[in-house]
């Protein structure tokens, strides 16, 4: 990519709180691991250090995944969606991604959705 780092970050349509959702996916299996939030500085750190950094909405501080748990996320690639308001961060996850100790934050509650079939619509 030939755009400067500042231009790439400026392309993100951050919300009114200055944040964008970051979907985190295992790079080789495409397993969705978690969702976090990034502001411009967290994204800058992620793009330049090789480790994922988030903005913690509850603690109001930056946190680099794995600094306390050892369950680090090594950046493989980062993408901006077509609307510019969501990020996809592909990582090599070391250990569980979820603070509960599970591999994925989405391994907990199945909402029992109806399985859709192409060409069929259900009421």
CATH of 5-93, one of 1.20.1060.10, 3.40.50.2000, 3.20.20.210, 3.10.20.810: 3.10.20.810
Burial class (CB in 10 A: 0-12, 13-18, 19+), 23: middle
82 is in an annotated binding site: yes
What is the pTM (predicted TM-score) of this model?
Answer: 0.89
110 is in an annotated binding site: no
Q: What percentage of the chain carries pLDDT values higher than 90?
A: 80
98 is in an annotated binding site: yes
Longest dimension (CA), the chain: 49
pLDDT at 121: 74
Q: Residue ranges of the alpha helices (H) in 11-95?
A: 40-49
List Cβ neighbours of 28 (8 Å cut-off, separation of 6 or more). Answer: 92
pLDDT at 110: 86
pLDDT digits (tens, 9 = 90+) for 10-50: 999 999 999 999 999 999 999 999 999 999 999 999 999 99
CA distance 54 to 21: 10
pLDDT at 123: 66
Q: How many CB atoms lie within 10 A of CB 36?
A: 26
Boundaries of every domain in the chain? 5-93
17 is in an annotated binding site: no
């Amino acid at each position: 990519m030939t755009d400067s780092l500042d231009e790439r970050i400026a392309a993100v349509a951050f919300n009114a709180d200055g944040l964008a959702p970051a979907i985190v996916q295992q790079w080789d299996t495409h397993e969705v691991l978690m969702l976090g939030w990034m502001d411009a500085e967290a994204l800058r750190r992620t793009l330049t250090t090789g480790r994922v950094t988030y903005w913690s909405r509850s603690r109001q501080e930056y946190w680099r995944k794995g600094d306390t748990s050892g369950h680090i996320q090594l950046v493989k690639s980062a993408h901006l969606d077509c609307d510019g308001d969501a990020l996809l961060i592909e990582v090599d996850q070391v250990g569980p991604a979820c603070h509960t100790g599970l591999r994925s934050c989405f391994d907990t509650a199945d909402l029992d959705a109806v399985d859709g079939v192409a060409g069929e619509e259900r009421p």
